[in-house]
Structure 1
Amino acid sequence: MDPVLNPYAPGAGSPPPELAGRGDVRESVRVCIERLRRGRHAKSVLMVGLRGVGKTVLLDKMRQDAEAAGAHTIRIEAPENKSLPAMLAPQLRLALLRLSRVEAARDYAIRGLRALAGFARKLKVTYNDIEVGLDFDPEPGLADNGDLEGDLTALLEQAGDAAKHADTVLVIFIDELQYVQEDQMAALISALHRCIQRQLPVTVVGAGLPQLRGRMGEAKSYAERLFDFPEIGPLATADATLALVKPAADEGVELEAEAVARILAETGGYPYFLQEWGKHAWDVALQSPITGEDVVGASTEAIAALDESFFRVRFDRLTPAEKRYLRAMAELGAGPHRSGDIAQQLGRNVQSFGPTRSSLILKGMIWSPTHGDTAFTVPLFDQFMKRIMPGDEWATGTAVEQ
C-alpha cells in the first residue's frame, strides 16, 4: 500500500493519529484548571508510567487543551544536566510578558518580571546555567535572597497574582520530572504549596517515570497532599484496537481481526509499539485488508526498528557493568525481580551491586516498585537485552565498572 498515506506515527513524542484511552486523565486536568480559575482548590497532576506509554504526547495534548480554554501555559523538559531554575526562568519570563498585556494584570506582571530579575541575578551564583533576558530592574528584597526555595516561592506568588488579576490560570507543564534534583524538587513543591495557601491560580502538570511518586515524597513529606498521581499504562484492549483500526479506516483500509490480535499480543498494548507495528504492517501489506500474515512479516521489521532506535539509544548510554546487570534481569524475565535474585545470576552478593543499581535508577533504566524489587522502566527491554547480548558469555565476563 502507499507509504505516503501510512497514518501511523512511531517516534519520540510524535502524536498518534488517534489518542485513544486517555480521556479520563485529560478531563481531570481540565477540571483542575477550571476550579483554579474560579478560585477553588485543586491538586496538581503528575502522570507516572513506563517509557512508551505516551506521557509526552499526552502532556502536549493537555497543554493544547489548556490554551484552548484560555489558560496561560509554559512547557519545559527536565534533562539530566540542567537545573530547574535555568529551565523555568526563561519560560516564566515569556508567561509574565504575555500577562503584562492584560490591563488588569499589568502591574502585577511587571512586579513579577522584577522578581525574576532578582531571582536570576542572585541564583546565577549557584546555578550558573541560568540565562534569561531581563526586562526590568530587580526590586530589592523580592525573590533575591539567594535561597532557591524562598526565592522560587516569591517568584511564583508574583506570577500567580498576575494570573489571578488576568482571570486566567498559569499551568506549568514539566516532562521527565524524575530528573530534577531533590533540593530543586523540594523548592518547586514548597512554592506550589504557598500558591495553594494563597488560593493563587498556579498549577503543575507533570510526567515522569514510576519512581517520581517516591521522589516527590522524599523531597517534601506533604507532596502527596498536593498532587494526584494517575498511572499511565498500556491501553486496554478496546482502546488499543481503536488506536490501530481507526487511523487505517480513515484512509479506507481495514485490519482483519487476526491482524489486530497479533499486534496486540506483540505490543502488550503499549502506544509507542502499537504505532511501530501499525506502520510496518501497513508497509508490508499489498492491499486492504491488512492480514495476520502481513503482521507476521512486519514483526521482524518492527523489532529491528525498535532495536536500532527506541532500545539502542538507551543501551548505548550504559557502562559494561550496567549492561551485565540488565542482562541478568532479562534472564529472569520481564520482572519485577528481587535484587538478590539478580545478584545470584551474576554470582556475587547483592551489596556489591548497590552503585550499579543506583546508577541505573538515575539513568531512568530501572525502578523499584517495592522495597528490594527491581523492574525495567522500558517495556520489552528484557527481550531486547537477550537479542543484543545473546548466549551466556555475559554471565562469565568480568564487570569492569561498578
Structure 2
Amino acid sequence: MDPILNPYAPGAGSPPPELAGRDEVRAKMRLCIERLRRGKPAKSMMLVGLRGVGKTVLLDQMMKDAEGSGVVTIRIEAPEGRSLPAVLAPQLRIGLLKLSRMEQAKDVAIRGLRALAGFVGKMKLTFNDVEVGLDYEPEPGLADNGDLEGDLTMLLEQVGAAAHAAGTLVAIFIDELQYVPEKQLAALTSALHRCAQLQLPLVVVGAGLPQLRGRMGEAKSYSERLFDFPIIGPLDATDAADAIVKPAHDEGVGVDNEAVNLIIGFTKGYPYFLQEWGKHAWDVAASSPITRQDVETASVEAVAALDESFFRVRFDRLTPAEKKYLRAMAELGAGPHRSGDIAAKLGRESSSLGPLRSSLIAKGMIWSPTHGDTAFTVPLFDEFMKRIIPTADWDPTEA
C-alpha cells in the first residue's frame, strides 16, 4: 500500500493518529484547571510510567487541551546535566510577557518580570548555566536571596498573581522530571505548595519514569498530598485495537481481527510499539485488509527498527559493566527481579553492585518497584538484551 498514506507515527514524542485510552486522565486535568480557575483547590499532576507508554504525547495533548481553554502554558523538558532554573526561567519569561500584554494584569506581570530578573541574577551564581534575556531591572529583595527554594516560591507566587489578575491560569508542563535533582524537586514542590495555600491559579503537570513518585516523596514528604500520580501504562486490548484499526480505517484500509490480535500480542499494548508494528504492517501489505501474514512478515522489520533506534540509543549510553548487569537481568526474564538474584547470576555480592545499580537508575534504565526489587524502565528490553548479546557471547563471570 502507498507508504505516503501510512498513518502510523512511531517516533520520540510523535503524536499517534489515534490517542486511545487516555480520555480519563485528560478529563481529570480539565477538571483540575477549571477548579483552579475558579479559586477552588485541586492537585497538580505527575504522569508516571515506563518508556514507550506515550507520556510525552499525552503531556503535549494535555497542554493543547489547556491552551484551547485559554490557559497560559509553559512547556519544558528536564534534560540530564542542566538545572531546573536554567530550563524554567526562559519559559517563565515568555509566560509573564504574555500576561503583561493583558491590561488588567500588566502591573502584576511586570513585577513578576522584576522577580525573574532577581531570580536569574542569583541563580547564575549558583548553577552557572542560567542564561535569560531580561526585560526589567530586579526589585531588591524580590526572589533574589540566593536560596533556590525561597526564591522560586517568590517567583511562582508572582506568576500566579499575574495569572489571577488576568483572570486565567498558568500551567507548567515538565517532561522527563525524573532527571531533576532532589533539592530542585524540593524547591519546585515547596513553591507549588505555597501557591496552593494562596489559592493562586498555577498548576504543574509533570511526566517521568516510575521512580519519580518515590523521588518526589523523598524531596518533600507532603508531595503525595499535593500531586495526583496517574500511572500511564500499556493499553488494554480494546484501546490497543482502536490505536491500530481506526487510523487504517480513516485511510480506507481494513485490518483483520487476527492481525490486530497478533500485533497486540507482539507489542503487549505499549503505544510506541503499536505504532511501529502498524507502520511496518502497512508497508508490507499489498492491499486492504492488512492480514495476519502481513503482520508476521512485518514483525521482522519492526523488531529490527526498534533495535536500531528505540533500544539501541539507550544501550549505547551504557558502560560495559552496566550492559553486563542488564544482560544478567535479561537472563532472569522480564522482571522485576530481586537484587540478590541478579548478583547471583553475576557471581557477585549484592553490596558490591550498589554503585552500578545506582548508576543505571540515574540513567533511567532501571527502577525499584519495591525495596530490593529491580525492573527495566524500557518494556521488552530483556528481549533486546538477549538479541544484542546472545547467550553464546555472554559470560557472566568475565571481567
Instruction: Report the TM range for the smaller structure's normalisation.
Output: over 0.9
Q: Partner letter of residue 336 of structure 1? A: P
Q: Please report how far the alpha carbon of residue 395 of structure 1 lies from its aligned counterpart in structure 2 after TM superposition.
A: 2.7
Alignment of 1:3-402 (within 5 A): 3-399=3-399
Q: Contact between 1:339 and 1:372, CA under 8 Å: does it hold in 2?
A: yes
Q: Please report how far the alpha carbon of residue 122 of structure 1 lies from its aligned counterpart in structure 2 after TM superposition.
A: 1.2
Aligned counterparts of 1:373 and 1:332: Cα–Cα separation in 2 = 13
- SS of residue in 2 equivalent to 1:311: helix
Q: Please report how far the alpha carbon of residue 23 of structure 1 lies from its aligned counterpart in structure 2 after TM superposition.
A: 0.2
Q: Partner letter of residue 298 of structure 1? A: A
Q: Please report how far the alpha carbon of residue 391 of structure 1 lies from its aligned counterpart in structure 2 after TM superposition.
A: 1.6
- SS of residue in 1 equivalent to 2:173: strand
TM (norm. structure 2) is 0.99
Q: Partner letter of residue 359 of structure 1? A: S
Q: Please report how far the alpha carbon of residue 123 of structure 1 lies from its aligned counterpart in structure 2 after TM superposition.
A: 1.4
Q: Contact between 1:285 and 1:294, CA under 8 Å: does it hold in 2?
A: yes
Superposed CA deviations along residues 330-357 of structure 1, whole A, max 9, x for unmatched, are 0000000000000110011111110110
- SS of residue in 2 equivalent to 1:395: coil
Aligned counterparts of 1:319 and 1:54: Cα–Cα separation in 2 = 27
Unaligned segments of structure 2, at least 5 residues: none
Unaligned segments of structure 1, at least 5 residues: none
Q: Partner letter of residue 372 of structure 2? A: G
Aligned counterparts of 2:397 and 2:166: Cα–Cα separation in 1 = 63
Superposed CA deviations along residues 252-307 of structure 1, whole A, max 9, x for unmatched, are 10011110010000000000000000000000000011100000000000000000
Q: Contact between 2:347 and 2:396, CA under 8 Å: does it hold in 1?
A: no
* Count of aligned pairs: 399
Aligned counterparts of 1:395 and 1:161: Cα–Cα separation in 2 = 61
Q: Please report how far the alpha carbon of residue 393 of structure 1 lies from its aligned counterpart in structure 2 after TM superposition.
A: 3.7
Q: Assess, with a 3 A threshold, how the Cα gap between structure 1 residues 396 and 35 changes in structure 2: closer, same or farther.
A: closer
Q: Please report how far the alpha carbon of residue 392 of structure 1 lies from its aligned counterpart in structure 2 after TM superposition.
A: 4.3
Superposed CA deviations along residues 331-387 of structure 1, whole A, max 9, x for unmatched, are 000000000000110011111110110000000000000000000000000000000
Q: Partner letter of residue 93 of structure 2? A: R
- SS of residue in 2 equivalent to 1:364: coil
Superposed CA deviations along residues 136-169 of structure 1, whole A, max 9, x for unmatched, are 0000000000000000000000000000010111
Q: Partner letter of residue 31 of structure 1? A: L
TM (norm. structure 1) is 0.99
Q: Contact between 2:343 and 2:353, CA under 8 Å: does it hold in 1?
A: yes
Q: CA RMSD in A?
A: 0.7
